[in-house]
Amino acid sequence: MAKRDYYEVLGVGKSASADEIKKAFRKAAVKFHPDRPEGDEEKFKEINEAYEVLKDEGKRQRYDQFGHAGVGSSAASSGGDPFSGFGGFGGQPGGVHVDFGDIGMGDIFESFFGGGFGGQRQKKADRGRDVETSTTLDFEEAVFGVERKITLELKDLCPHCKGNKAEPGYELKKCPTCDGSGQEVRVTRTVFGNIQQATVCRTCGGEGVRPEKNCTVCGGLGVTRQKKDINLKIPSGINDGATIRLQGYGETSAKGIPGDLYVNIRVKSHKKFTREGDLILSDETISMVEAALGTEIKVDTVDGPVSLDIPAGTQGGSDFKLSGHGVPHLKRKTRGDHIVRIIVETPKKLSRKQKQLLEEFAKESGKKPFWK
């Protein structure tokens, strides 16, 4: 569905002042705030998006000139999950998404009583630890995507005992403390009487078995720290501050269940370009003569130099759009635009001839002599 005009969204005219825009936003935001009975979350988001553009002088100027294409995609600032569905490692499961956890009533009961009702212990998966790391990208790598090798030292199954915890050639025997149940039953006297409580066996950790002889490599832990190389595919258009979650690439427990790996993305600033969503912005300086007569300049883009025609009479601060030279969209096979702002340079020193020519130009323009 096509986006509505931002001025229409806020109910103001295109000539509205900054103060009028702010008042219109506050009135509409209060009316449609999701916490109100008559609130509308979608309209509230639309109002906020419109205000974010129109309150900024530079964005508003580009919007007036180019429409929605001049301010880029709002997806980057909408708080959504633009990376959902991207595979993290080549050919492997695991995408980038938000995980809100899985806390349930069983966890609450286990916290207080060490198990479920009737002394039956609720077994939880012996999962490996989640790991967090970061990687830094150049500006162009974030725009076009890149494959990056990450080397980490992580706990993985012991190569000697394969996670069995026992020295090869030795067996696992029933735990003498819990008699193979994995639980110890304790009786606690309270004002309400004796309470029977099942807890994890302190000797075997709930497994019910112990090695006849601990593995000589891992010491009976079942895991050792090992260096692992991971090839990470970073999608084009990723933002600075994004986090990629990769399921199953964290540390591994002795039971072979791995945790997840979280990679925080940092993007270096560029000496010439800045980014707003799917837009790339840059400045180009021309002389006042070029601005008056028109010229053709070469503009640096992430795709290389591109020719740009500057029409006669161009004013300083004018914006020009290079379509399709911005940041690729994460979910579509299209790209944003590159916006070039023109800066007109006034010479600080003039030769005698240049001064005479400008004086003649001023006279031809009907200007009275005002120069010294």
Question: Is the separation of the CB atoms in 115 and 200 below 8 Å?
Answer: no
165 close to 250: Cβ distance less than 8 angstroms: no
For residue 152, which of 69, 90, 229, 224 has the smallest C-alpha distance? 229
How many CB atoms neighbour CB 202 within 10 A?
10
Does this model's pTM top 0.75? My answer is: no
Span between the terminal Cα atoms of the chain, in Å: 60
Q: For position 365, what pLDDT does the model report?
A: 82
Burial 170-182 (b: 16+ CB within 10 A, else e): eeeeebebbebbb
3-class DSSP state for residue 220? coil
Alpha-carbon torsion (82, 88, 90, 91), positive or negative = negative
Q: What is the mean pLDDT of each run of 10 residues along the chain (372 residues)?
A: 85 90 89 82 89 90 86 50 39 35 37 40 66 95 94 94 92 90 83 81 86 93 93 92 92 90 94 92 94 95 95 94 91 88 92 90 81 63
Amino acid at 342: I
Give counts: helices (H), strands (E), the chain. Answer: 8, 15
Cα(269)–Cα(273) distance, integer angstroms: 8
Q: What is the pLDDT of residue 73?
A: 65
Between CA 141 and CA 6 the distance in angstroms is 33
